[in-house]
Amino acid sequence: MSYIKAEDILPRELLETIQQYVDGQLIYIPCKEKQEWGSGTNAKAFFRERNERIYKSFQSGSSTGELALTFSLSEKSIQRILHTQKLAKSLDVESR
């Protein structure tokens, strides 16, 4: 993120009003709409599909150690993914 001089882009009246609150200090102005994580890339879909494969492999008999090696993750990460997937599946079943 780069800095932009307020005096280069804001009307003088608005700049003077802002100076009443934060004279000479840096301020952050957030975007109007916050983008969801992964919305600009395929990361969200990639991880969702990977986690589904991990869960299905575990249900088919793969151990957490095998899954950790296959997916290049720690066993703790595999356990966390399995717990999250199991919880999501149980909530999905309950909502039907």
Q: Is residue 33 part of a domain?
A: no
- Domains identified in the chain, total number: 1
The residue range of the domain holding 88 is 43-94
C-alpha 44, offset from chain centre: 8
pTM, 2 dp: 0.60
What was the pLDDT predicted at 89?
A: 86
42 three-class SS:
coil
Q: Is residue 21 part of a domain?
A: no
What was the pLDDT predicted at 92?
A: 75
Q: Is residue 5 part of a domain?
A: no
What was the pLDDT predicted at 1?
A: 65
Rounded average pLDDT per 10-residue block, the chain, 96 residues: 87 94 88 76 91 97 97 98 93 66
Q: Is residue 16 part of a domain?
A: no
CB 46 within 8 A of CB 79: no
What was the pLDDT predicted at 32?
A: 81
Q: Is residue 10 part of a domain?
A: no
Q: Write the CB contacts of 10 (distance below 8 Å, at least 6 apart in sequence).
A: 18
